[in-house]
A = this chain, B = another copy of it.
């Protein structure tokens, strides 16, 4: 029993603050702490319950920053939460003397910047992922002013690539039965062929020969990440207006021989560079083949007529 007793004591000590107003006592000090100091406190924290409250606090404080304060915040994080250079130097020198596989892998672990662990901890609080996606959206702006912040962005990119791993994404067909709260985001995010309102949206999601599919992530449940619009047609259309026209003839989808992917829109600027496009198209093609198994010739006519990417840099790697 003695081993478990230790674990219990350990566990209890770590959750002992539950139910108390966790950071209440230190509130007076807390207010005086700069955002950067709070981040420092979060990283030195052992109690996870306290950590959660701290994460929440940092994300809330961040939301209130203006543009100038944001830039200062990112610069402080970059300056103060880098690699432990002394430890790295020591490990590197050892490895140069005695190069070996275990040691080289150790360099990777040792050289992880503290900012990465910081982002990881911020993600733990409720709503953390969404707040971090927004935070990176800001960061991408500030990189234009201070190029050195691109190194900090690597941390976001690395973690977002793990978190928004295609294995975790959920493909959903957006139809006229989709909640209005999501439909209005589709109207807002469509960036190639603008959707003028609900009537036009209806043409794109409710017509028998039109499809709209989006990727969702469990942590951003009501927020589409990317969506693609598909027209099922008889022939390859000559121009986009024949696809978008409101008074065209609807085609029985079982008679379609071509699937035109006429628009792709990324929805989250903060996820720029995290690639979803190929997977989305691949999964939609599989979905269409499952739905329309009789359309034999169809699969030879998957066509990307027009693709488009939100933001200045295309991110379909």
Contact = CB atoms under 8 A, between A and B. Distances in A.
A96 B92 contact: yes
A268 interface: no
Contacts of A99: 85, 89
Contacts of A307: 4, 7-8, 11
B49 A124 contact: no
B14 A278 contact: yes
A15 B102 contact: no
Interface stretch (A136-144, A176-184, A247-255): A176-184
Q: A interface, by DSSP: helix, strand, loop or mixed?
A: helix
Contacts of A159: 162
Nearest to A132: B167
Contacts of A162: 120, 159, 162-163
Contacts of A101: 78-79, 82-83, 148, 151
B219 A167 contact: yes
B177 A179 contact: yes
Interface in A43-85: 48-49, 52, 78-79, 82-83, 85
A282 interface: yes
B304 A8 contact: yes
Interface in A118-175: 120, 123-126, 128-129, 148, 151, 154, 159, 161-163, 165-168, 170
A104 B111 contact: yes
Q: Which 4 A-B pairs have the closest CB atoms?
A: A162-B162, A108-B111, A19-B299, A83-B104
